[in-house]
Amino acid sequence: YSRARNLHKAAQDICNRFNGIMPKTKQELLKIKGIGTYTAGAIAAFAFGEKVTAVDGNVRRVLSRLYMIEDSIDARTGQKKVEEYAEKLLCCDEPAGVVEGLIELGALVCQKVPKCWLCPLQKECQALKYGKTDLIPLRKKNPKITQIHRLVWVLIQSGRVLIRREQKNGVMQGLWHFPFLEASTAKGDLLGYLQEQLGRTLPSPKLLDPIKHGFTRFQAHLYPHIWNLQGADIQEFEDYRWVSFSELEDLPFCGGHRELKEYLLSTKNT
């Protein structure tokens, strides 16, 4: 999600501030909104032949093992050492080839479980020499995954569905989702909560199997409840929007809500 937003920001910035002309150096590219260090380096090296590094996770893994860097690659000290070694390797006539080679080597050979017997750098690799390929690169311990339980309510009325657009900053910003409540807030009684909010009696909902969705440091468990409402239309619902199924099909949804959307579209005529 964030990659698509960054690409859009970059395109707008290039048009507005650079008259639609892509800058050719890493330093100039870094001034564009949505372009980070790796992307700037990759564009400058591959598209314009500038002698600069483009360090991603693959390159960090290769160079950490090659030079046996025992600082965490998540820490600034480890990242700085990787950058310094990467720059030293650019002393040749085809720096872009070196950059691409390191990226591909990390992606295809020097993986999490390395295929050292295929590596053209095995004789120079210090981690292999000292038997530390399974220990390097060093990483910080992964943060604890927080489990989230959400009761998702889908209201369908007169061929329309109630949805909401995420406004908060984060990876879901700008994407749509179905209304939901944290399970702890509703105390497990979503039906009672909605009847109180809507001021009307609701039938028992159709329950779907839980949907799991992981993002950043969270694991969300979605429990979909579907109501096909009869009677007087509910016109007003603050911060939410009623859409037709044809509109629903074209809107971008986040994570597990996208799976629920596909289910609704596949069963709309049943």
> Per-domain residue ranges for the chain?
2-129, 146-266
The pLDDT of residue 5 = 80
Among 7-11, 110-114, 263-267, name the most confident range. 110-114
The pLDDT of residue 111 = 94
The pLDDT of residue 269 = 66
Question: At residue 173, does pLDDT exceed 80?
Answer: no
Sequence-separated (6 or more) residues with CB below 8 Å from residue 156 = 226, 227, 228, 229, 264
The pLDDT of residue 186 = 62
Query: pLDDT for 227-262, tens place per residue?
Result: 988 765 666 666 788 999 999 999 989 888 999 999
Place of tokens 């807030």: 185
User: What sign for the dihedral angle of Cα 256, 261, 262, 263?
Assistant: positive
In this predicted model, which residue has the larger pLDDT, 217 or 55? 55
Q: What is the mean pLDDT of residues 75-82?
A: 91
CA distance 44 to 90: 14
Structure confidence at residue 144 as a pLDDT band (50, 70, 90): confident
Q: Do domains 2-129 and 146-266 have the same CATH topology?
A: no
Three-class SS state of 171: coil
The pLDDT of residue 93 = 77
Domain 146-266 falls in which CATH fold? Nucleoside Triphosphate Pyrophosphohydrolase (3.90.79)
Tell me the percentage of the chain whose pLDDT exceeds 70.
92
3-state helix, strand, coil in the chain (%, to 5): 40, 15, 45
How far is CA 204 from its chain centroid? 36
Predicted TM-score (pTM) of this structure: 0.57
Q: What is the largest CA-CA distance in the chain?
A: 77
Structure confidence at residue 110 as a pLDDT band (50, 70, 90): very high
Arithmetic mean of pLDDT over the chain: 87
Query: pLDDT for 45-65, tens place per residue?
Result: 999 989 999 999 999 999 999
CA distance 218 to 170: 13
Tell me the percentage of the chain whose pLDDT exceeds 90.
49
Q: 1.10.357.10, 2.60.40.420, 1.10.1670.10, 3.30.420.40: which CATH number matches 2-129?
A: 1.10.1670.10
- Rounding to the nearest 10 degrees, give the CA dihedral for residues 24, 27, 29, 31: -140
Question: At residue 200, does pLDDT exceed 70?
Answer: yes
Residue 137, preceding peptide bond in cis (omega within 30° of 0) = yes
Query: pLDDT for 2-56, tens place per residue?
Result: 778 888 888 998 999 888 999 999 999 999 888 889 999 999 999 998 999 999 9
